[in-house]
Structure 1
Amino acid sequence: MKRIIIGLLLSAGLSGCHIYRTYERPELSGVDSLYRVPAMTEDTMSLADFSWKELFTDTVLQQLIEKGIANNTDLNIARLKVREAEALLTSSKLAYLPSVSLTPQGTIKSIEGNSPTKTYNLAASADWELDIFGRLTNAKREAKAVLEQSQAYKQAVQTQLIATIANSYYTLLMLDKQLDISRRTAEIWAENLRVMKALKKAGQTTEMAVAQIEASKLS
Structure 2
Amino acid sequence: MINRSTPVALAAALLMAGCSLIPTYERPAAPVADQYAHGNASTSANAKAAAQIPWEAYFQDPRLQQLIRLSLENNRDLRVAALNIERAQAQYRITRADQFPSVDLGANASRAPNTTGSGDKYLNSFSVGLAVTSWELDFFGRIDSLKQAALAQYLATEEARRAAQTSLVASVANSWYTLLADEELLKISRDTLKTREESVKLAKLRFDTGVASELDYRQAVSLTEAARATLAQQQRQRSLDENALVLLLGQALPPDVSASISGQRLNDVADMPTIPSGLPSDLLTQRPDIRQAEQLLISANASIGAARAAFFPRIALTGQFGTASSELSGLFKSGSWGFSLAPSALLPIFDAGRNSAGLAVAKVERDVALAQYEKAIQTAFREVSDALDGQDLLNDQIKAQRAQLEAEQARLKLSDLRYSNGVASYLDLLDAQRSLFTLEQTTVQARLTQLLNQVQLYKALGGGWTESAVAAASGTASTSDNP
Query: Counterpart of 1:15?
Result: 17
CA shift, 1:133, in A, is 1.5
Q: 51-60 or 87-96, which moves further after superposition? A: 51-60
One-letter amino acid of the structure 2 residue matched with residue 161 of structure 1: L
Deviation digits for residues 48-73 of structure 1, max 9, x if unmatched?
44333333232322333333333333
SS in 2 for 1:93: helix
Q: Of 124, 129, 151, which residue of structure 1 is paired with 2:130?
A: 124
Query: Counterpart of 1:175?
Result: 182
CA shift, 1:77, in A, is 2.5
How much is the aligned-residue C-alpha RMSD, in angstroms?
A: 4.3
State whether structure 2 residue 158 is matched by structure 1 residue 151.
yes
Is contact 2:20–2:145 with CA below 8 Å preserved after alignment? no
One-letter amino acid of the structure 2 residue matched with residue 125 of structure 1: A
Between the aligned partners of 1:82 and 1:46, the Cα distance in structure 2 is: 27
State whether structure 2 residue 106 is matched by structure 1 residue 103.
yes
Q: Of 166, 170, 180, which residue of structure 2 is paired with 1:163?
A: 170
SS in 2 for 1:79: helix
Query: Counterpart of 2:53?
Result: 50
Q: How many residues align?
A: 197
Deviation digits for residues 82-137 of structure 1, max 9, x if unmatched?
1111111122223222221112579xxxxxxxxxxxxx964112354321021111
CA shift, 1:166, in A, is 1.9
The runs of 4+ residues in structure 1 deviating greater than 4 Å are: 1-5, 31-35, 37-40, 42-46, 185-198, 210-219
Between the aligned partners of 2:142 and 2:198, the Cα distance in structure 1 is: 84
Query: Counterpart of 1:25?
Result: 26
- CA 1:19 to 1:214, structure 2 compared with 1: closer, same or farther past 3 Å? closer
- CA 1:33 to 1:98, structure 2 compared with 1: closer, same or farther past 3 Å? closer
- CA 1:4 to 1:50, structure 2 compared with 1: closer, same or farther past 3 Å? farther
**Which runs of 5 or more structure 2 residues have no equivalent in the other structure?**
110-125, 227-483
SS in 2 for 1:97: coil
Is contact 1:95–1:136 with CA below 8 Å preserved after alignment? yes
CA shift, 1:207, in A, is 4.1
Query: Counterpart of 2:332?
Result: none
Is contact 1:32–1:38 with CA below 8 Å preserved after alignment? no
One-letter amino acid of the structure 1 residue matched with residue 144 of structure 2: T
- CA 1:19 to 1:33, structure 2 compared with 1: closer, same or farther past 3 Å? closer
Deviation digits for residues 2-52 of structure 1, max 9, x if unmatched?
678525531343237x362551427x9xx86546x5899x65954344333
Between the aligned partners of 1:195 and 1:38, the Cα distance in structure 2 is: 61
Is contact 2:104–2:132 with CA below 8 Å preserved after alignment? yes
- CA 1:160 to 1:135, structure 2 compared with 1: closer, same or farther past 3 Å? same
Query: Counterpart of 1:141?
Result: 148
Between the aligned partners of 1:70 and 1:7, the Cα distance in structure 2 is: 57
SS in 1 for 2:66: helix
Is contact 2:204–2:217 with CA below 8 Å preserved after alignment? no
Between the aligned partners of 1:53 and 1:178, the Cα distance in structure 2 is: 28
State whether structure 2 residue 75 is matched by structure 1 residue 75.
no
Is contact 2:105–2:129 with CA below 8 Å preserved after alignment? yes
- CA 1:94 to 1:131, structure 2 compared with 1: closer, same or farther past 3 Å? same
Between the aligned partners of 1:218 and 1:21, the Cα distance in structure 2 is: 71
One-letter amino acid of the structure 1 residue matched with residue 77 of structure 2: D
Between the aligned partners of 1:156 and 1:38, the Cα distance in structure 2 is: 24
- CA 1:80 to 1:4, structure 2 compared with 1: closer, same or farther past 3 Å? farther
One-letter amino acid of the structure 2 residue matched with residue 124 of structure 1: L
- CA 1:4 to 1:174, structure 2 compared with 1: closer, same or farther past 3 Å? same
Is contact 1:189–1:213 with CA below 8 Å preserved after alignment? no
- CA 1:75 to 1:129, structure 2 compared with 1: closer, same or farther past 3 Å? same
- CA 1:24 to 1:186, structure 2 compared with 1: closer, same or farther past 3 Å? closer
Considering Cα pairs closer than 8 Å and 6+ residues apart, tell me whether 1 or 2 has the greater RCO.
2
TM normalised by structure 1 equals: 0.64
Is contact 1:68–1:161 with CA below 8 Å preserved after alignment? yes
